[in-house]
Chain A
Amino acid sequence: MNLPRRNFLQRATLFTAAAAAFGSGLLKSAGAWAAATWNVQAFTAKTASDAYSRSGYANAVNSSDIVLKLPEIAEDGSVVPVQASSNIPGTTSMAIFVPDNPNPLIADFTFLNGAEPFIATRIKMAKTSSVQIMAKADGKVYMTSKSIKVTAGGCGG
């Protein structure tokens, strides 16, 4: 038997095994994100109705059980504070929409394992518009909305 060749083959096998292990590790770390792959179709939608349907928030029913806090006037549309919470039992996710923005879907938050249906963040608004908060609960979509006057738009252009 050709010993050097056998040696090479053994090493090659080891290398392949190591590469496979490394590869599976990469797959695993990518898998952690699999539950939240960026929904490019929804976030690049240019109309509110496309944004609703592509993000799974279509056919929303108005609800006063979503509490939305935001200023009445935004002097700087690039930083508008938004805070929202849902009192609808079984709320699993909440999303922020600004129908008059170039891309109406702003953000979509999913609550898991004890997280409460509450979000606070800061958003950009191109012009005076409504801010809509949608909530998913038991397969249904609920919405509340408030208008806000924007004196200087914040999307650039």
Chain B
Amino acid sequence: MDQPILIRAHLQDGEADIKALIHHDMETGLRKDAAGKVIPAHFINLVSATLNGTPVMQAQWGIGVSKNPFFEFKVKGAKSGDQLVISAVDNLGMSYSGQTTLN
């Protein structure tokens, strides 16, 4: 079962403005715990979005994206009823997804 991606989409004049948030620690692998032991890297590195199954945005991330990643993108030619799906995976293979219907 995928972890959720929270999506808020706003449709105006055929343009979808999509804001998304994923709860994730985005550990860099550069931090140490209280005992001085390195906290292993754990971060989302691949993100993709489709509109009615057609890819619209693909992103690759490194350790420099903030904890609980927020991202926003815009798609032209969108209409009410279109299905938006956003998926992501992290460096440990855990997957995340969310979907919404534009209106």
Contacts and interface: CB of A to CB of B under 8 A. Distances in A.
Interface of A: 32-33, 35-36, 38-39, 43-44, 78-80, 83, 96, 98, 101-103, 105-116, 118-125, 154-157
Given A114-B56, A115-B73, A122 B66 contact: yes
Nearest to B76: A114
Contact of B55 (A96, A106, A112): A112
A110 to B, nearest CB: 5
Given A107-B62, A114-B56, A122 B73 contact: no
A33 B45 CA distance: 12
Nearest to B52: A113
A115 B64 contact: no
B65 A38 contact: no
Interface of B: 15, 28, 30-32, 45-46, 48-49, 51, 54-67, 69-78, 89, 91
Contacts of B75: 114-116
B28 A122 contact: no
Nearest to B19: A120
Contacts of A122: 65-66, 69-70
Given A112-B55, A115-B56, A103 B63 contact: yes
Contacts of B91: 38
Contacts of B55: 35, 112-113
A112 B54 CA distance: 9
Listed from nearest, the 4 A-B pairs whose CB atoms lie closest are A156-B31, A106-B64, A43-B62, A120-B72
A138 to B, nearest CB: 19
B30 A155 contact: yes
11 contacts: A33-B48, A35-B58, A43-B60, A78-B67, A108-B61, A111-B56, A115-B49, A121-B69, A121-B71, A124-B66, A157-B30
Given A113-B56, A155-B28, A157-B31, A119 B72 contact: yes
Contacts of B65: 106-107, 121-124
Contacts of B78: 114
Given A110-B58, A112-B55, A113-B54, A118 B64 contact: no
Nearest to B54: A113
A96 B69 CA distance: 15
A105 B56 contact: no
Pick the most buried of B46, B49, B61: most chain A CB atoms within 10 A of its CB. B61
Contacts of B72: 83, 118-121
